[in-house]
Amino acid sequence: MFPGIHTLLKVSPYRDNASCSAALSRQGAVMSDTHETPAILALERQIAFLVRRLEANQRRRNYPLERAHYLLLLMLEEQEPQSSGTLAEQLGLDSSTVTRQINVMLRHELITRTPDPHDRRGGLLYLTDHGRQQLDQMRKLRRESARELFADWDEPSRAELARLLERLNNTIEQRVAEHFSRSRS
């Protein structure tokens, strides 16, 4: 990777790959001298900007739920009940991180916890009616945002992006799971 590339990408004022390449060349980092393919270089740059723009968009929106709460509610909606440990493992997070989020969600009455009949130390988590309402509201707002964002895209292009994002998410999930299992052994 180029010297200083991560710094450049995270705060890059450059709007396109050509101006970015010119800046890197001025820094002595010539793209043709690297072992990376042009696609990898473009992916690394585009993902850096995508993550930054998504974070900025999240802060500007007045969503009813935090992103972490939305994801946890989605997971509970797909399969109830679940333990906090199961949720943490599925997300590839430390259980203490998920436990903190769950405690906030319990206080906001988004979820409820009942004793786990198979593990007296643990509890099983369920969505509350309030949690379902908040989840539905958040989903509606996010879908409206997606409709606006992709208004100029034709349906086959939207479907292709969705397919590629699903593939990317599955790859990341697999890598996180592999790392999680290695770190536990």
Give the type of residue at 165.
L
Q: Of 118, 51, 127, 55, which Cα lies nearest the Cα of 87?
A: 127
| Residue 39: predicted pLDDT | 92
SS (H, E, C) 134-177: HHHHHHHHHHHHHHHHCCCCCHHHHHHHHHHHHHHHHHHHHHHH
Give the pLDDT confidence of 123-168 residue by residue, as tens digits.
999 999 999 999 999 999 999 989 999 999 999 999 999 999 999 9
| Residue 175: predicted pLDDT | 87
Over 50: is that where the pLDDT of 26 sits?
Answer: no
> What is the residue-averaged pLDDT of the chain?
82
| Residue 60: predicted pLDDT | 81
81: preceding bond cis by omega (within 30 degrees): yes
Asked which of 84-88, 126-130, 158-162, 175-179 is least confident by mean pLDDT, the reply is: 175-179
The dotted CATH code for 67-184 is: 1.10.10.10
**Ordered DSSP codes for 96-124:** HHHHHHHHHHHHTTSEEEEEETTEEEEEE
Give the pLDDT confidence of 35-78 residue by residue, as tens digits.
889 999 999 999 999 999 988 887 887 888 988 999 999 999 99
Domain range list for the chain: 5-60, 67-184
CB within 8 Å of 82: residues ≥ 6 apart:
75, 76, 124, 125
pTM reported for the whole predicted model:
0.71
Mean pLDDT of 107-121: 91
Give the pLDDT band (50/70/90) at residue 178. confident
141-144's contacts with Cβ under 8 Å and 24+ in sequence apart are: 141/61, 141/63, 141/64, 142/63
